[in-house]
Amino acid sequence: MSDSWPRRRLLAILRGASEPLDAQELARITGQHVTTVRFHLDVLTKESLVRQFQQPPRGRGRPRIGYSAVQRSVGYQELAQVLADQLGNDPRRRSDAAITAGRAWGAKLDAGDHPVDSLEDAREVTMTLLSELGFAPERDPEAAEPEDQVLIRMTACPLRDLARTHSEVVCGVHLGLIQEVLDRNGGRDTVSARLLPFVEPELCVARLELLARREATPVAVGAESPAPEPVLAPPSAGRMPPQLRNGDPNVAKQSAQQW
């Protein structure tokens, strides 16, 4: 839109209106001549900032033309980009901050009331959450999963483009969200959650694991404790868990070696 105060004022009035307004009403509100108002409305219409609607006439005569502002979509992708850039340059700190933010988000969500007493309960809660948020989760029916582990394929992501350059932030938020919702439903001492970004170009994986698996591993007295496995794995092209189906045997073989 050109830098025109009359047009900006008309647009502001239409954005605040609860119903479409015609040129006569706008002329009365602004004090401008109706012909001038119609000129500005034509410009705003051509720039796709307002939309025309046919309204019933007042008394006898032709139908009136009403105008309504086109609601601007919020640039969530751009907003997320700005927020991600504010978390500093240290990837670990960025990831930790993102997970904390995701937990804060999860604490505010209505996550339902499905007690997590088993791995299957955790899967149901996580699948429901991811479905509601637009991740199109799937559990591969042909995947050979251990009894103490579940893999959930996240086939969509509302912020996938940003995740390609800021995975520790975007995926960290999503991981924190999953962890918080599981904890709120009683899964804190039952399951742990990890997120594996971009195991395929358009696929991320959430991995749920029974905590008993780690508790059952003895550590010799005096031996160094193994380093904890990161809950947010670094993205790596082709880093597909061997349990997941992969149509390319070479890729599957290479992924299994890396895993």
Q: How many CB atoms lie within 10 A of CB 153?
A: 20
Non-local CB neighbours of 220 within 8 Å, separated by 6+ positions: none
Q: For residue 3, what pLDDT band results from cuts at 50, 70 and 90?
A: low
Edge-to-edge strand ranges of the sheet holding 64-69: 21-22, 64-69, 50-55
Q: Tell me which fold the domain 5-69 belongs to.
A: Arc Repressor Mutant, subunit A (1.10.10)
Q: What is the topology classification, in CATH, of domain 90-217+229-245? A: Muramoyl-pentapeptide Carboxypeptidase; domain 2 (3.30.1380)
Q: Mind listing the pLDDT tens digit for each residue in 228-254?
A: 556 677 665 444 554 444 444 343 333
* Extents of the domains making up the chain: 5-69, 90-217+229-245
**Residue-wise DSSP of 166-185:** -HHHHHHHHHHHHHHHHHHT
Distance separating alpha carbons of residues 158 and 150, to the nearest angstrom: 23
Residue 234 CB-density burial (10 A; 0-12 exposed, 13-18 middle, 19+ buried): middle
Residues 6 or more apart from 17 whose CB is under 8 A from it? 68, 69
pLDDT in tens, 17-71: 888 999 999 999 999 999 999 999 999 999 888 999 887 777 676 778 999 998 7
C-alpha distance from residue 6 to each of 12, 38, 72, 100, 170 (Å): 10, 11, 19, 46, 41
Q: One fold for both 5-69 and 90-217+229-245?
A: no
Predicted local distance difference test score (pLDDT) of residue 81: 77
